[in-house]
Chains A and B, each alone.
Chain A
Amino acid sequence: MDRRNFLRMAAASGMTLGLPMTASLANAAPNRFWVSVHASGGWDPTILCDPKGDAARSDGRGAVNNFATADIRNAGSIAYAPASASITDAVVRAEIDAMYDTFFQTHAGRLLVINGVDTRTNSHSTGTRTTWSGSADLGMPAFAALAAAASAPNEPMSFLTNGGYDYTDGIVAAARVSGSGQFSDLANPNHPSAGSNNRYLPDTTFEALAASKRQRLEQLMSTEQLPQRKKMMSDLFGVRSSGRNNLDAISQKLEGRTTSGLKGQAEMAVAAFSTGLGVSANLVTGGFDTHGNHDTSHYPRMRTLLDGVHHLWTRLEEEGLADRTTVVISSDFGRTPYYNSGNGKDHWNVTSVMAMGAGIRGGRTIGATDPEFRALRVNPQTFLPDSSGIVLTPGHVHRALRRLAGIESADLDRRYPIQADTLNLFS
């Protein structure tokens, strides 16, 4: 438990002039949604949205990539990588190219690429924390948690997480959902089975029982002396009191099944948003930590990532949520701009961030790296290379995200400060 937790407990007890716990209970259903897509393990932007090609490095370490510089593709002003020549299976290579083309050609108009983001670390845990909270400090909540806490903290799936960096610091309860078959049972605790007319107890008895339970919890809260317990009771009361526990709706939305993997995570997130049960979601796909056989292992992971995000966007559009959802895609850090002795790539501090959707002016690539994938200083207004400019960091990205979410200068923002200027990255 860190200082923030300590203060939170103290505040709950009324013993200190602590900061507010969370946003007040929202009355309206959530209307703004956020998705973080984490490529777990440290992705390689040079085979995605910051391609360099096969020009030999000056230090004799070979080339950054195993594809010709001339083969780098473009979708509007966004450059993206072709499949690597070291992938010898022509079918696999063609499938990868097709997925890249589908993703970038379909989404370029709404896609913002921020290159040359310096995470200042090559540690997985620090990098993941920094990328998704904007700070290397312990105890910083993930952006998705902040967004949920600021909007509708007591919805059953306010912050839906599939892993990655999902620390909440207690400002909102994270929810994990592994399948889609249980919602009907959860929606109707007095029904022995979905669709049954039977009841464990007559409805009148069950309704009176629910009132007794609320009374009992209120009574416990009023007499409890330990701040921690009082806080826990308050949290429980909050999530039990949510008036939109409409889990049946999500069950119908999913029709009892989801796809596996990242696509399934996307389907669950969209279902949660469309039923008013969720605000934000962490989506995660792994396998990017390719210290050996980088190209043959990493490209298929990229393909899964792009396929999943494409599926997410398709579902958002089908549900009419695309104009109210912001999607951010990134990873722990980047990978070295050269291959090691096992044809792998190790950890590198420079990464990229991709964003699309509500509040994002797409069709752009901002920020920059040099030919050997070092972050370049950029002008803080134009984001073009400028030797007297600044190096972009996850802190800058998160300050802009907080502005977009309307929580800049709010209590939550002050409580979790980020040491970076607010730049006009997104619009």
Chain B
Amino acid sequence: MASDPRRTDHAISNQRIFCHLRNVRAFLLSVALPLLMVACGGDYSGNSAQAELSALSCAGNASLLPAASTNVVGQGHYVKQCQSCHGASGDGSPSGPSLVGCTSCGDIDTLTNRIATTMPTADVTQCDVDCARETADYILTAFKQNATFADASCAIEGIEVMSPERTLYKASLNLAGEALERDDAEFFARSGDGGIDDVLDVVMESPAFYERLKEIYNDRLHQDKYLPNEDALNLLDSNEFPNRKWYSSVASSSVAGPERDLYYFLRNETNQAIAQEALELVAYVVRKERPFTEILTADFTVVNAYSARVYGYDPDALGFATIDTVANKPFKTFDQLPAGLQQFARYDPTDFREVRVSIQGGSKAGTVIPHAGVLTMPMFLNRFPTTNTNLNRHRSRMVFEIFLDTDILQIPGSREAAAVDESSASPTLTNPDCVVCHKVMDPVASLFQNWDDRGRYSLRRLSRTPWPADMYYRGINGKIMPLESHVDNSVQWLGAELVKDARFARSTVKTLYEGLTGQKALFPPSDLFGADSVERAAYTAQRAFLGAVERELINSQWNIKTAIKEIVKGPYFRAESISANEAIHATAGTARLLTPEMLDRKIVAVTGKAWKYSWQSRSKLHKLESGGYNALYGGMDSNDVTTRITQPNGLMAAVQERMASEVACQSIGRDFYRPQQDRLLFPLVTKDQAPVDEDGNSDPAGEAAIRANLVHLHWKLFGDTVTSNSPEVNETYAVFMRAFESGNELRASDPNNWSLKRLYSGCAIQKDPVTDETLAEADKIYLDERYVMRSWQTVLNYMFSDYQFLYE
């Protein structure tokens, strides 16, 4: 197919780029195809994670085995001061990263310096330079490139990965909700991993990818809690930001009509932009190809034309993009508004620009906010709140957990005695049982001292309440923040320190890995649970892979698209079967029940329409659709529910059955109504093409067309590259035939029953789906006298509720 000149012609003629998700495939042909033809046949040549692991192949094990003997002195230091967090075998724990195949250890001097200046985190004075050098020597010889790490690369080799075609199908759906056409996938797959990179580069330019990225980070940050109503805006101080509800002075909501519609449109766009400010910064940094570290260091925030007014900015002065309100009305009654009001809704809500915010009113008016990426955003600070006695400790804990992959609560220590020390004046400073955690947590908590419980910023020296004397000095990892030039912008100092910490790369890759695969990264093997060699090997194999991805991320100047590509091409995303080390790879491969959001996108991608009633504004799986199935299907609201259900229950199984029935119904008439060449589901058959003729004689041409269309559906819905006589197609053909035969028997038994000759009315097309105009009788799709369309409807129902459709 790829050599077909019509493809190239078509590709070249298609000049639309990223206007809409539907254009992604066309873009693959128009831009990526010519590029690929130049580089055809080449392998991915980057310094990829796979290449790195490949270099550590089994054959090379001997050269990687540690030659030096164990540094006994260093081992002693390690056991005493490091082991509790990093594990006896260097495997790590929730409170300390793995040192096996250490990503950031560097050479002996680098590691010595790091240990001497930052370890142990609770008290850096406990290990001086000599101690640090001995310890570094031990770590490098014992954990870095030892046999365990080399074995890990061998273990990964036991995972057999899926084909590039299937990988592309899966990745496109996962990252952009786009079902790649089979011929496109096969074309790009001919270049192996290089082709995967090319397609992913395009996919990751689509608007849907940035929505997906926001979704992945919302699973960490839970900012969508504030999406409903004016929940985000209500948390901004009305004195400091008197324009927070600027739309109230533009339009009234008191009377139903276009002005009320405008009011709600402006309100929703404004609230959403403030609620998702942190998520938008994540998307913005990636879209602009900035180093991902800027999510914690950016001295700006991002606004769209609607939220800009909240912070006192004129959207026209910032030059926001506008939309074509004729082709894409912001809301149904937009045309009925006077021009003076229409202008407020003409901006593209997805266009975000960077601004610095100043407090707009009240006693602090004019104060410039010292931004530190998401760390200083009002909704981030509200989502992880504090109190007068908590003193930002919760914020500190969440910073460690989200950005440094460290669970402070898992720091080993004795809590067998009372958890509360009443006898000490300042137990967090003096009681060893308390100090072990607080010395890590409290310095970071102190860094947030300019930000109050509502996320409001104040100059500390003007505060009436002094920062408590029994809190640790501002700092992190044992490093005290220099006061000079940081007194009132200490969170900026924190952001800069966080991105220098090797754990930031670890947490970033882990977030992406878990978002893309739907699986938690393996937990460090714990002696507590009697970890055995298999578990250790599984963990080490995965850690070796993720460590290599972390290095790729850092080497790419923190371009997370690089990390995403490495994960997609890697063995854990692509595992299809296991040829060796079966026990170790018991958890390899993705087996994710699609989240409501992912299933929603997949339905749209394959059928062209969301699962919804015509009168609904959103799909039944959308998180904000009242009375929908999002919560029932395991979704989260980022408020009370912050985890997803990943294992189906009986209710979820019932939702699947309901979805299959309804989506098959809404798709059948709609797809057959389209011109055959434009059909998504039935491009290779007509609506009355049966496997037998009117007399009951077999019709080979009819059967061939049906089988060809089944091949199309197997790719479209499952990503399966099957042939018309494969067992899979035979099985689905049998489903078609059973429905066809039983339906015709039923029809024959009651020939005057009108309802047996037509689709159920809700599945039929009597009006044009776009214009809503009643169709001419010949154009209507409802008669099904030979039971062909209902046989296809049965096939669709069968496939929509199939494991391969519902899981990834």
A residues engaging B (CB < 8 A)?
1-6, 9-10, 12-13, 15-16, 59, 118-123, 125-126, 137-139, 154-159, 162-163, 168, 170, 173-179, 181-182, 185-187, 189-190, 192, 198-202, 204-205, 208-209, 212-213, 216-217, 219-220, 225-229, 231-233, 235-236, 239-240, 242, 245, 247, 277, 284, 286, 291-292, 336, 340-342, 344, 346, 348-349, 374-375
Contact = CB atoms under 8 A, between A and B. Distances in A.
Interface residues on B, range: 35 or more
A161 to B, nearest CB: 9
Interface in B591-639: 591, 593, 627, 629, 631-632, 634
A404 to B, nearest CB: 25
Nearest to A12: B586
A228 B649 contact: no
B44 interface: no
Given A216-B798, A349-B418, A205 B587 contact: no
Contact of B591 (A216, A232, A240): A232
Interface stretch (B146-154, B503-511, B521-529): B521-529
B365 to A, nearest CB: 27
A236 B657 CA distance: 12
B36 interface: no
Contacts of B738: 208, 212
A229 B631 CA distance: 24
Contact of B797 (A179, A209, A291): A209
A205 B582 contact: no
B406 interface: no
A186 B651 contact: yes
24 contacts: A12-B586, A15-B586, A120-B418, A125-B409, A156-B653, A175-B632, A186-B658, A200-B762, A200-B797, A201-B661, A205-B742, A216-B798, A216-B802, A226-B589, A228-B586, A228-B587, A232-B591, A232-B647, A239-B650, A240-B653, A284-B640, A336-B420, A374-B418, A375-B418
B358 interface: no
A179 B630 CA distance: 11
Q: Which 9 interchain pairs have the tightest Cβ spacing? A: A156-B650, A349-B419, A173-B649, A291-B387, A186-B654, A189-B657, A228-B591, A10-B586, A225-B577
A200 B387 contact: no
A57 to B, nearest CB: 10
Nearest to B401: A125
B587 A340 contact: no
B660 A189 contact: yes
Interface of B: 94, 387-390, 409-410, 415-416, 418-420, 422, 519-523, 525-526, 528-529, 531, 534-535, 538, 575-578, 582-583, 585-591, 593, 627, 629, 631-632, 634, 640-641, 645, 647-655, 657-658, 660-662, 664-665, 731, 734-735, 738-739, 742-743, 746, 756, 760-763, 790, 793-794, 797-798, 801-804, 807
Contacts of B804: 220
Given A138-B94, A205-B739, A374-B418, A163 B763 contact: no
A213 B801 contact: yes
Contact of B583 (A10, A156, A277, A336): A10
B790 to A, nearest CB: 6
Contact of B760 (A10, A168, A192): A192
A94 to B, nearest CB: 30
B523 A1 contact: yes
Contacts of B523: 1-3, 5-6, 138-139
B535 to A, nearest CB: 6
Contact of A16 (B531, B534, B649, B655): B534
B645 A173 contact: yes
Contact of A6 (B522, B578, B591, B665): B522
Given A226-B576, A228-B587, 10 more contacts: A4-B529, A16-B583, A138-B410, A175-B650, A176-B631, A198-B760, A198-B761, A200-B662, A201-B739, A228-B591
A239 B652 contact: yes
Contact of A277 (B525, B576, B650): B650
A247 B649 CA distance: 13
Given A201-B793, A213-B798, A227-B586, A292 B387 contact: yes
Contacts of A155: 650
B147 to A, nearest CB: 22
Nearest to A235: B647
Given A10-B583, A173-B645, A173-B649, A209 B739 contact: yes
Given A1-B523, A13-B582, A201-B797, A291 B389 contact: yes
A14 B694 CA distance: 52
Contacts of B640: 162-163, 284, 286
Nearest to A230: B591
Main secondary structure of the interface of A (DSSP, over half): loop
Given A182-B632, A208-B739, A239-B652, A202 B94 contact: no
Contacts of A239: 648-650, 652-653
B593 A232 contact: yes
Contacts of B422: 59
B621 to A, nearest CB: 13
A121 B739 contact: no
Contacts of B743: 202, 205
A122 B420 contact: yes
Contact of A174 (B390, B590, B593, B645): B645
Contacts of B735: 209, 212
B742 A208 contact: yes
A219 B727 CA distance: 11
Nearest to B727: A219
A176 B652 CA distance: 9
Nearest to B387: A291
A344 B389 CA distance: 9
Contacts of A349: 418-420
Contacts of B648: 173, 235-236, 239
Contacts of B583: 10, 15-16
Given A217-B803, A291-B389, A3 B647 contact: no
B658 A181 contact: no
A134 B696 CA distance: 68
Contact of B649 (A10, A59, A157): A157
Given A157-B650, A201-B790, A1 B521 contact: yes
Nearest to A123: B409
